Amino acid sequence: INNLSRLLQEQGDLDGAEALYREALEAKRETLGDRHPSTLTTISNLSSLLSAKGNLDGAEALCREALEGQRWRDGDRHPLTLRSINNLGMLLKAKGDLDGAEALLREALEGFRETLGDRHPHTLHI
């Protein structure tokens, strides 16, 4: 379901993709739990889709949930957690919360520098 959702999103069928992401998320929550890596990936994907549709508040809620789950599962300095921090920072930027965005982007940059080094592509992307 998740892969088809991505395909629909890439083809521009955002409503169809959203419906499938929501179906996948519900099933994953029921079978795998809220903090399983696959569930967290689907939460992040749905957040990204909602952002693309202009539903920034809905996207933010899911982005925060994904970040909370990543911190719980993997700690503050795991690359997946740092990616979630970056995602939330970029979302806050899109919402006009530049102070909140800056704080998160600085946290992500610091974390990537500490864990992956200054020249790693993830660090340079921030």
Give me the CATH number covering residue 65. Answer: 1.25.40.10
Report which residue type is found at 22: R
Return d(Cα 11, Cα 8) in angstroms, integer.
5
Count of domains in the chain? Answer: 1
Identify the residue with better confidence: 40 or 125. Answer: 40
State the Cα–Cα distance between residues 81 and 125, nearest whole angstrom: 15
Q: What is the pLDDT of residues 107-120, one digit of tens each?
A: 999 999 999 899 88
- Closest by alpha carbon to 64, among 36, 91, 102? 91
What whole-number distance in Å separates Cα of residue 113 and Cα of residue 107? 10
Which pLDDT band, with edges at 50, 70 and 90, does 2 fall under?
confident
What six digits make up the tokens of 59? Answer: 């996207």
Averaged pLDDT for residues 67-87: 96
Domain span at residue 118?
2-125
